[in-house]
Every structure is written in C-alpha cells, then in structure tokens.
Amino acid sequence: MDRTVVQGNEGYAAMRVQHISKHIHHKPILVDIDFSVEPGSIIGIVGRNGSGKTTLLRSLAGILTPTRGSVYIDGLDIFKHPEIKKQIIFVPDSTEALKNYSTKELIYLYKNIYPEFDTSYLFSLMKRFKLSQISKIGNYSKGQKALFTLITAFATGASYILLDEPTDGLDVIVKKQVLQLLVEEVSDRRLAVLISSHRLDELEFMVNEVIFIKKGKVDSHYELDTMKNQYKKIQLAFAGKMPETLENELEVLDKTGKVYTVLIPRGSRPLEEKISDSRPLFYEELPMSLEDYFVAKLGGPDDV
C-alpha cells in the first residue's frame, strides 16, 4: 500500500491533492494542482468559466484520471484503492443521473454503496425541508432536487463533499436553505466541503479557504481572513484624471467619472504616500469583498 500521507489533525482522514495535471485533447486543463483538505473546512474553488473547476472536482471524485499526480485520502491513492471513495461524494450541478429513481430506490442504492448511510437522518432532513417521498426524483422542483441531493450526500456519511455549483439557478430562499444546511453540517460533523461556485458573495460567508484557479493552475490559495488582510479597498476622487504613474501601480476595480475604486496591498507605505502626494479630493477605505479580490486577481480583460 502506498501510504504517502499521514492522517490529518485529530486522527481524521485528510485529503491530499498531489500535483494533479490533466490534459484533454493534448491541451493542459489542469496544471500541477497541489493542496490539502482538512476535515471541518469549507474550501471555495473559484475561477472563471473554463478555468478547470469542474475538471478538478471530477478528478478529485475519481471520475477523470489525472494525466499526472493523484488524490489521496488518509494516505491511500483513490485511483488504486477506489474503496476509499466511500469517504467522498461528488454532487454535480445536475441531477440527471438520478432523475429516474424514486426516493425509496435511491435510499436502497445508497445504503448498499455507503455502509454509513443514515436513513433516519435523511428522513429528518427531508421533513425539515418539507420534501415528501416521491416516485421519481426528476419530478421534484429544481430547488427540491438541489436540496434532496445535498441531503442524501450528507446522509452517506462521507467525509468529503464535492459540490459543483450547488446554488446555480436556485431561488433566494432555497439558496439560503442550502447554504445554511451546508454550514451546519460542516460544523456539526467535521466534514470537509469543496465547493465550486461563481457566486462569490455566497462563498464569502461560509468558506474558510479560497483556491483561485486560473488557466488550470492554482493562482492563489488563501485562508479567507488572511486574504482580506492582504489588500485594502479604497475609493478615491481626483480633480482631474488620476495621475498615470499612480494608475499603473493600482488595481483599478471601478471608475465612475472622477471616482476610482482601487485595490492596494495593505501596509504598502510608499504607495499610500504616493496616493497622498497626488492629493485626492476624496479618500475612503471600503469593506473588502471576495469579489474584489477575484476581479483583481483573475479578471483581466485578456483572461476571458
């Protein structure tokens, strides 16, 4: 057995994503992705369309075989020891695969796949979210399907939940329910959740860590608080245009008339002095959001 990674904190299994690369049609889709996931954490996988987020999640679930590298759970390679995947469940952005099952059939299927599957827990959550048993899961509304798949994923007892765009297309109320359930589960049961989403505003309030993927590579990987402390978002207004020398050094998020919203590295005294020397009419620090960081790091016009 190739146990290359030690257990995570407090004896829980740890997921180790080790130098994964994936080429599709000879094009690099993922390049040397390397990180670890500890139980009890929610990690947001953030990136623009086509950056490789779904490919990454599918590789972590053992669906796609990486061209190089591998994924380890508790030191075991999931591609060599597929039985360890009992600890992983992948929740795709579509319920296509399960739409013809009745709730009863799905429970039967999952009970036989995941020995830890907790039926009473599933029923209690179904009751809480007013989901009745149904003869065809495809007949649930879009929101109900999303809730049901999430609930069944939690009921499997898996330690790693991989969610691909879980709130995509859901109305505000269901979205809130989904996110609330997610946060509760992670704190109650020391699960680890990897969640890919475009909705940075949603991720912001639940993730501990964010992995930014750009062109298949990990552009940056931060704990949310650390990340927010790295930058400072400020609003500036000048009598005329912002001096060109200054504009080149700042990350301009927005420009409306003479008012600029910019991002600067926190604690960069020379830059702050330069701003002060350029005598802005107005200077105010604004609360920093994940979206600001996303736009600054990944949102260049040539990166579409």
Partner 1 sequence: MMFNKALWFQNYKQSKFLIWILLALFVVQMPLQAILSVESWQERAERTTYSEEYVYEVQAWDVMQIFSQGMFTIFLAAAIVIFASLLIGLERNTRRSDFTFSLPYSRSSLFLAKWALGTAAISIFFIMNFLPAYLIIYQSEFREALSLVSSIEIFWAPLLGYIFFFSFSLLVGSITGEMVSQIVLTFIFGFLPIIIFTLIQEFMQVHDFFLFHIGSHPQWIEYATPFFYAAGSIGSLPGIISAVLFTAVCLWSGTVLYTKNNLEYNGEFLMFKKMNPVLVVILTVLISFFGGMIVSSLAPWGAAALRILSYWIGFTTFMLFALLIIRRLIKMNIIFSGRAV
Q: Which residues bind partner 1 (CB under 8 A)?
A: 22, 24-25, 29, 50, 52, 54-55, 58, 61-65, 82-86, 88-90, 92-94, 96-98, 100-101, 105, 108-109, 112-114
- Reduced to 3 states (helix: H, G, I; strand: E, B; else coil), residue 113 is helix
Rounded least distance, CB 126 to partner 1, Å: 20
Instruction: Write out the two tokens for 71.
Output: 């994924």
| CB-nearer residue toward partner 1: 100 or 187 | 100
| CB-nearer residue toward partner 1: 156 or 261 | 156
Rounded least distance, CB 111 to partner 1, Å: 8
CA 287 to mean position of chain CA atoms: 22
Query: Would residue 206 be called left, alpha or beta, if left means φ above 0 and alpha means ψ between -120 and 50 degrees?
Result: alpha
DSSP string over 37-104? E-TT-EEEEEE-TTSSHHHHHHHHTTSSPPSEEEEEETTEETTT-GGGGGGEEEE-S--GGGTT--HH
Q: Are 210 and 43 in contact (CB under 8 A)?
A: yes
Query: Would residue 157 be called left, alpha or beta, if left means φ above 0 and alpha means ψ between -120 and 50 degrees?
Result: left
DSSP H/E element including 293: helix 290-298
Rounded least distance, CB 208 to partner 1, Å: 24
Rounded least distance, CB 158 to partner 1, Å: 9
| CB-nearer residue toward partner 1: 59 or 261 | 59
Q: Are 150 and 140 in contact (CB under 8 A)?
A: no
| CB-nearer residue toward partner 1: 164 or 202 | 164
| CB-nearer residue toward partner 1: 40 or 62 | 62
Rounded least distance, CB 82 to partner 1, Å: 5
| CB-nearer residue toward partner 1: 27 or 269 | 27
Q: Are 85 and 78 in contact (CB under 8 A)?
A: yes
Rounded least distance, CB 14 to partner 1, Å: 18
